[in-house]
Amino acid sequence: MRGKLLIEAFFGTQVAIGLTERYQAVNEHVSELIKSNCQPINWSRLKTHYEMLSDLVRETDRVISPLILLCISSNIYSICIYLLGGLVPIQDGIFNAIYFFGAFGLLVIKTIAVILFAARINDESKKPILLLSKCPVQGPTFEPQWLQIQLSVDDVALTAMNFFPITRKFLITVLYDFY
């Protein structure tokens, strides 16, 4: 069971990295266009790219959200079990204590890494908002502002079967609840 969950966490992380890299590529393209004084930008094409990428994230989330829920919930459950086991003093020696704290530390690191990789999708989807605010309005077109509004309203993130979005705010909330 443990090996299967590790493979599922690895798969979910790789999917999140791939989606994040796609957002980074589009964001770099937007940054280059805006540095060139916003003149020759095809705003409708750019909006279409972001819509397609958002739809891809939603479709991917629909497919892998049970996996994400299983991975995160089993990791949090395991952390709770380790914490419960750590409350009971066991006099088995220093090697068992080292094993306990080492395994606990690795579990916490794995859980945080999976959440952070999935949360990067939400972070990258919000980056163009700042870039678009630097782009001056030229003529009667307000397409940069419309795209900026759409990006600020559109919540793009992987979820755990729509129970919660995987964002940095989620990670901070979970960490705060443990303390």
Does 141 have pLDDT greater than 70? no
pTM: 0.76
pLDDT for the residue 94: 78
Residue that wins the pLDDT comparison between 48 and 93 = 48
pLDDT for the residue 20: 82
Does 96 have pLDDT greater than 70? yes
Percentage above 90 pLDDT, the chain = 0
Beta carbons of 121 and 156 less than 8 angstroms apart: yes
Give pLDDT tens digits for 26-45: 888 878 877 776 556 677 78
pLDDT for the residue 119: 87
Element (H, E) at 76: helix 43-87
pLDDT for the residue 158: 81
Number of domains the chain contains:
1
Average pLDDT over residues 38-56: 77
pLDDT for the residue 38: 56
Percentage above 70 pLDDT, the chain = 80
Give pLDDT tens digits for 131-140: 777 766 665 5
CA distance 123 to 31: 16
Q: List for the chain the helix, strand, coil content (%; round to 5).
A: 80, 0, 20
Does 51 have pLDDT greater than 80? yes
pLDDT for the residue 26: 82
- Cα of 133 vs its chain's centroid, Å: 24
Residue range of the domain that includes 81: 2-178
pLDDT for the residue 137: 60
